[in-house]
Amino acid sequence: MKTIPFLSDFISLLYPRLCYACGNSLFRHEAVLCMHCHAELPRTHFHQYPNNPLEKVFWGRVSIRHATALYFFIKGGKVQHLIHQLKYKGGKEAGIYTGKLLGRELLAVPGYREITRIIPVPLHPRKMKKRGYNQSEQFALGLAEEMKIELDTTSFIRTVATDTQTKKSRFARFENVKEIFKVVHPDRLENGNILLVDDVVTTGSTLESCATILLQVPGTQVSIAAIAYAID
């Protein structure tokens, strides 16, 4: 048994485990993030504050109960690198890891303890096939596991594949997504308290479109959680 740590160290030399945020090597006891990034990545703590900046994004657009994000997203920063690894480099564990981190914090907030179902923003099947997984679903997996709440990936679907949102204006983003989602099992969602989750919130257009459709189900309430909230 004593040889196992040495074998692990040897494997790490051949296939180094790197921090998803800064790219430095991880120590044996670290996973996804190094201890420095775990401590220093910019947390929002939005769930501790009513009327926080992310909730204000949706004011006058759609009725959201609560909204939070784990990190601030700054262009060129470490959180962007973390999201890039999750979204484009096969780093599914980054989604689960961040979901657990945020889920642990949300358990201490009364409004989020009332959540009955977690729904990730869905990918179109064509994009899912190309990428192999939905990055928002990986984040939702971590949240659901930590919060002991049902994860629902089948009641709400994307019916149209859209172009990338990255370089679109707020209006163009909304026009791009306003009619591409559909509830297929409304009976499952009636009178439910849904946590709708995505990877990054920029203009909020995708989440606005999703929430608008979900709120058409009788008795439904929607809150929002994301890995990151983009700021200028």
Provide the CATH number for the domain around residue 84. 3.40.50.2020
Give the per-residue SS3 of the chain: CCHHHHHHHHHHHHCCCECCCCCCECCCCCECECHHHHHHCCECCHHHCCCCHHHHHCCCCCCCCCEEEEEEECCCCHHHHHHHHHHHCCCHHHHHHHHHHHHHHHCCCHHHHCCCEEEECCCCHHHHHHHCCCHHHHHHHHHHHHHCCEECCCCEEECCCCCCCCCCCHHHHHHHHCCCEEECCHHHHCCCEEEEEEEEECCCHHHHHHHHHHCCCCCCEEEEEEEEEECC
> Does residue 225 share a domain with residue 171?
yes
Pair 96, 127 in one domain = yes
Shared-domain flag, residues 20 and 133: no
Judgement on whether residues 30 and 134 belong to the same structural domain of the protein: no
One domain, residues 5 and 79: no
Residues 49 and 106 in one domain: yes
Residues 176 and 191 in one domain: yes
Q: Which domain holds residue 149?
A: 42-230
Q: Is the pLDDT of residue 3 over 50?
A: no
Instruction: Using a cut of 0.85, tell me whether the model's pTM lies above it.
Output: yes
pLDDT tens column, 162-221: 655 455 555 554 555 567 899 999 999 999 999 999 999 999 999 999 999 999 999 999
Number of domains forming the structure of the chain: 2
Are both 20 and 123 inside the same structural domain?
A: no
- Tens of pLDDT, residue by residue over 121-157, are 999 888 888 889 999 999 999 999 999 999 999 999 9
Assess whether 125 and 12 both reside in one domain.
no
Q: Kindly state whether residues 68 and 21 are assigned to the same domain.
A: no
Task: Please write the tens of the pLDDT for every residue from 37-60.
Answer: 999 999 999 999 999 999 999 999
> Could you read off the pLDDT of 22-42 as tens digits, one per residue?
999 999 899 999 999 999 999
27 and 74 together in one domain: no
Instruction: Mark whether 16 and 51 lie in a shared domain.
Output: no
